[in-house]
Amino acid sequence: MDESTRSKLAEAWPDADLEAAPSCPVCDEPAREPWLDGLTDLIFHAAPGRWTLWRCRSCSAARLDPRPTPASIGRAYSRYYTHEANGEGPARHFIVPGDRPDLRLKRALHLSFYNHAHGHQLPGALPMGWLAVAASRWRSVRAGHYIRHLPGPRREGARLLDVGCGDGGFLRVAQSMGYRAQGIEFDAAAAAPARRAGFDVRIGAIEDAHFEPASFDQVVLSHVIEHLHDPLLVLRRMLGWMRPGARLWLQTPNIDSRGAQRYGVHWRGLEPPRHLVMFNERSLRLACERAGLVGMALLPPQLDAQFFIGQSEAMQRGEDPYAIGATRRRAARRLGRQWDRDAMANPLLAESLTMVAFKPAAA
């Protein structure tokens, strides 16, 4: 970090651009206790100020207070990673074709697994190839996350909405799996590759988006809910856009994770002040319930501990979390595999929570 950046981060966020969060955005209870104090933007070095996260005494959700106003929060994203998006995202995995023989084989095996385990009818699958994926829990868990556990379309013209779609990587995956895929993205620069590829991506805040009621069969919310000032408002809006029985898939950092406990203010999942409301399993389930969703279920965890460990330890050392040397990457990989194995046994320890919930079916 150069001296000018360090000087900028030492400044305070302007008082006129701050707002209080006196009650819990999940359960409305005011009672709270301080969790982590003196937080700074150690990742992208874009946001000045020092921040405090509080834990709700009722539901255990964490919230930033004070926090940037909706009108000013955009300044915290000036160096955000979506500005460097390349249009690949999840599409680099096994649905979108690759020319190398090993990639063709992996794709054929995974297509077979998706047909068998997720109810798809994708061409190009290797007969019985799903057995090679299912034989390893590690591989099968990763395979499910590549497609965000997307089931096969249950009707012609089934529609999917990716909220916070970025460069459209998952829109490509969903389209290749038979869905009419649309997106919402706050960052116009990030969404440019998706729009160039012909996808319908609405630019702007989720709170301002408009879609026909009861029009989507699937809604995806990947690492978005923690960025929202009012997550319940957004969940309720999405509920209105969903067809009866439609599925919501969401993923968010887990404030009860092993990494959060070990690294504290240096945990990669915090990302102040962009992450405004943060969850454990209990508070995430409650948020879905209060929004009117049903059938909440925690899925096997994303196997992402290596990423969280490597970046958290870099920040702890005062280093750039995106410039980790090979030796430290290997150490993070070894520890990360152990943490991921533990999280597969107990998803409540995982660095991220992955949950599905549903709109009630029509009476």
Domain boundary among 51, 81, 111: 81
Q: Concatenated DSSP letters for 13-65? A: PPGGGEE---S-TTT----EEEEEEEE--TTT----S-EEEEEETTT--EEES
Domain boundary among 81, 109, 142: 81
Specify the pLDDT at position 87. Answer: 41
Specify the pLDDT at position 12. Answer: 93
Give the residue numbers spanning the domain of 291: 156-358
Specify the pLDDT at position 97. Answer: 60
Q: Is 88 a domain residue?
A: no
- Whole-number Å distance between alpha carbons of 178 and 157: 8
Same domain, 163 and 40: no
Specify the pLDDT at position 95. Answer: 61
CATH value at residue 179: 3.40.50.150
- Whole-number Å distance between alpha carbons of 141 and 146: 9
Integer distance in angstroms from the first to the last C-alpha of the chain? 58
Same domain, 190 and 55: no
Same domain, 71 and 160: no
Q: Is 172 a domain residue?
A: yes
Same domain, 333 and 185: yes
The residues, ordered by sequence, that sit 6+ positions from 110 with a Cβ below 8 Å of its Cβ are 93, 94, 95, 129, 133, 143, 146
- Per-residue DSSP letter, 279: B
- List per-residue pLDDT tens for the chain, 363 residues long: 566 666 666 789 999 999 999 999 999 999 999 999 999 999 999 999 999 999 999 999 999 999 999 999 999 998 876 544 444 444 445 565 667 888 888 889 999 999 999 999 999 999 999 999 999 999 999 999 999 999 999 999 999 999 999 999 999 999 999 999 999 999 999 999 999 999 999 999 999 999 999 999 999 999 999 999 999 999 999 999 999 999 999 999 999 999 999 999 999 999 999 999 999 999 999 999 999 999 999 999 999 999 999 999 999 999 999 999 989 999 999 999 999 999 999 999 999 999 999 999 974
Specify the pLDDT at position 2. Answer: 63
Specify the pLDDT at position 8. Answer: 67
Same domain, 207 and 351: yes
What radius of gyration, in Å, describes the C-alpha atoms of the chain? Answer: 20
The residues, ordered by sequence, that sit 6+ positions from 2 with a Cβ below 8 Å of its Cβ are none
Domain boundary among 49, 81, 113: 81
Q: Is 95 a domain residue?
A: no
Is the distance from CB of 117 to CB of 140 less than 8 angstroms?
A: yes
Q: Is 147 a domain residue?
A: no
Tally of structural domains, the chain: 2
Q: Is 249 a domain residue?
A: yes
Specify the pLDDT at position 78. Answer: 85
